[in-house]
Structure 1
């Protein structure tokens, strides 16, 4: 065997038990107590948890937005992922009008392949159906392992939004070929109306970013997306859910038996809209914005009851000087915050505090995204699966600071947050990539994950 991790408490989405894990050729060979095998390397994980590597199903690496590009490219973003126990990241390549799906994907793979430190997959953002021709490419995309597409119901002026007819066409075609449609749900017309009003009134601080897109602005679009998905019987994945009313609509559809999935993010679980009143409020600007305490509590309730399916990050950081472009005009603030290195530690710390179970944290961050998005070799610890493994010390205290993160950004909204428990090792397909605070992986080691279609 190449690797033997002994005496740890193995945590799955369903149970926890003390066992050894043997790894050979990048795969989990066997799991059992007191395994008697010869291994090139043996790790004693006594007193620690042994977890499947997390899957961050929502990142924007090297993404052009707001007149700049997100601070983390593929090297920095995946390096940070490794150091937070994330072994697979999903990125969102953006279609420019007239481009084909595989053209977009191949261009991004060419960027990612030499830099990726962990494994990676893509959701493709659809902005233009190219007169309907793009729909004919969906099957080829699925055949090549691209089994999810994203539509924006916002960013109309930026040319990223799709109308309802386009959304329905995407939903139907995705359903036909075994793919799933991801939705960013906010109402653009109401946002633009609010922005125009606030700017005329000289109300330009970060607080008005929130007031321009409050709870009901997201909720309306959530409800509309759910309505169309239910009406045409197509699967729907709502990204970065942040509001109570929209969450309730998605949960109701889910409980009725519709194929609706809900993602939220750590920033919506930790912060409220009050952050936008802070002097550094612009650093917290993302879309949708953090909402009120009632929404934050509703999200946690749904996390605890299993009605939220995944937690991902929407990782899209910008440098502080770029955020400062909007110091006196919130519309000029690049939207996005850091999170990929904080995802698993944050949710596991919540489990350690008794807010959720260890198994629920694993389900939200690893097993569920693997199942939803067809990552058949990822998301769980079982013989034959990729040896994506995190060794986690539940007693290790860690205070987040930009100085101990592994990204290329110069600030973090998580500055000063103390977590009880932290990853001490991360393995990607059996190779150690993070060890006690240090990145020890290799750019280019990460592989493209070809995903299975929904059946």
Structure 2
């Protein structure tokens, strides 16, 4: 064996055991007590938790949006991921009219091969069917390991929205070829109506970003989406769920179609819409926005009950001067916040505080993402799996600051948030990439994850 992590407490979604973990060739090869250490590097994890690396299935790296590009490159975003215990990152490359799925993915792969510090995968955003050519290409994309595709019910004016007819065609094709459709669900017409009304009335602060797309605007689109998925018996993954009414509809729909999955994000679990009343409220602008306390309470309840499947981040940070473009006009604020380095520490802190179990944190951030999106070698500490491992110190105290993060942004909405417990090491396929506060990996280490099709 190359490496043995000894004396730790191994936490998987289904069990917690005291055990050593043996690693060779980037894989977990043994789990048991008192593993033979001859010739191996030994890491003592006494009094520590040994966890599978997190999988953040929702990031937007180097993404053009709102007149700029998100602040984290593939290098910076995956470096930050490693330092937060995230060992696989899913990005959302955007198809534009006339582009094939292969062209979209290949353009990003060429960058990631040089920059990615941890493993990576893609959901391809579909904005145009190219007269049906995209539907024909989806089967070959699945065979190449791209098994999920995203649609927007919003951004109509920007040419990114799909209508119900297109959405249904994509749902049916995904069902046929063993893929998944991911959906950003909000109602664009109500958003546009509200936005125009507020601007005409001179109501331009960040608070009106929230009021232009409140709970019921998201809920209508959630309900419409699960209506189609339920009646077509097609797989559907609802991204960044933030509202109580839509959440309840999705939970109910799952009873008839278990292939409906719900994702939420840490920002909706920590903050409410009141942040938009703050002087720096523009920094919190993302879509969908944070909602009211009732929605936040409903999200936590659903997490505790096992009704939410995944917690991911929608990581899409912008620099503060770019957020300032919307100081006097909320429509000019680039939408997005940081999160990839905060995901696992935040959810593990919630477990450490007793809100959920550590097993649930692993399930939400690692095991379920791997299962839902076909990452056969990821998601648990088990023989044969990739040695994507986080050593977590439950006794550590950590205060988040832009100064101790590892991204390229100049501010974070998580500034000052205190966490109970923190990762002290991250291993990507058996290689140490984060060590007690420092990134020790290298760009280009990450591998493309070819995912299995849905059956």
> Smaller-chain TM-score range?
over 0.9
Counterpart mapping for 1:166-315 below 5 A: 166-315=166-315
After TM superposition, the structure 1 = structure 2 runs for residues 386-401 of structure 1, keeping only pairs within 5 Å, are 386-401=386-401
CA distance in 1 between partners of 2:291 and 2:38 (Å): 53
| Distance in 2 separating the partners of 1:14 and 1:291 | 32
1:34 Cα offset (Å): 1.2
Q: Distance in 1 between matches of 2:153 and 2:257?
A: 24
Task: Please give the residue correspondences for 1:44-443 in structure 2 after superposition, counting only pairs within 5 Å.
Answer: 44-443=44-443
Residue 230 of structure 1 contacts residue 258 of structure 1 at CA under 8 Å; is this kept in 2?
no
Give aligned pairs, total.
455
2: CA distance between counterparts of 1:38 and 1:362? 31
Distance across 1 between alignment mates of 2:173 and 2:139: 9
Distance in 2 between residues matched to 1:39 and 1:92, nearest whole Å:
42
Q: For residues 436 and 264 of structure 2, what CA distance do their matches in structure 1 show?
A: 28
The secondary structure found in structure 1 opposite 2:263 is strand
What CA distance in whole angstroms lies between the structure 2 residues aligned with 1:441 and 1:355? Answer: 33
2:400–2:415: 8 Å Cα contact kept in structure 1?
yes
**Does the aligned pair in 1 maintain the 2:230–2:256 contact within 8 Å?**
no
Show CA shifts across 1:222-257 (max 9, x none).
000001111211000000000000000000011234
C-alpha RMSD over aligned residues: 0.5
SS in 1 for 2:379: coil
Give 1:436 deviation, angstroms. Answer: 0.1
Deviations 1:290-345 (A, max 9, x none): 00000000000000011000000000000000000000000000000000000000
Deviation at 1:40, TM superposition (A): 2.8
Shift of residue 355, structure 1, vs aligned partner:
0.3
Query: Mean alpha-carbon deviation: is it higher for 225-234 or for 117-126?
Result: 225-234
Runs of 4+ in 1 over 6 A off after TM superposition: none
Deviation at 1:15, TM superposition (A): 1.1
5+ long unaligned stretches in structure 2: none
Contact 1:4–1:39 (8 Å) recurs in 2: no
Q: Kindly state the Cα deviation for residue 85 of structure 1 after the two structures are TM-superposed.
A: 0.1
> What SS does the aligned partner of 1:28 have?
strand
Are the equivalent residues in 2 in contact too, given 1:70–1:318 (CA < 8 A)?
yes
Distance 2:87 2:443 in 1: 13
Give 1:38 deviation, angstroms.
2.0
Contact 1:233-1:258 at 8 Å conserved across structures: no
Name the SS of the counterpart of 1:10 in structure 2.
strand
Task: Report the CA distance between 1:36 and its aligned residue.
Answer: 1.9
Structure 2: how far apart are the matches of 1:324 and 1:36?
57
Q: Is the 8 A contact 1:28 1:387 kept in 2?
A: yes
Q: Deviations over 1:424-445 (max 9, x none)?
A: 0000000000000000001000
Whether 1:20 aligns to 2:20 is yes
Conservation of the 8 A alpha-carbon contact between 1:115 and 1:444 = yes
Determine if contact 1:287/1:336 at 8 Å carries over to the other structure: yes
Question: How far apart are residue 112 of structure 1 and its match?
Answer: 1.1
Q: Which whole-Å deviations, capped at 9, do the CAs of 1:50-78 have from their partners, x for residues lacking one?
A: 00000000000000000000000100000
Structure 1 CA distance, aligned partners of 2:307 and 2:453? 23
1: distance between equivalents of 2:342 and 2:446? 20
Tell me what 2:33 maps to: 33
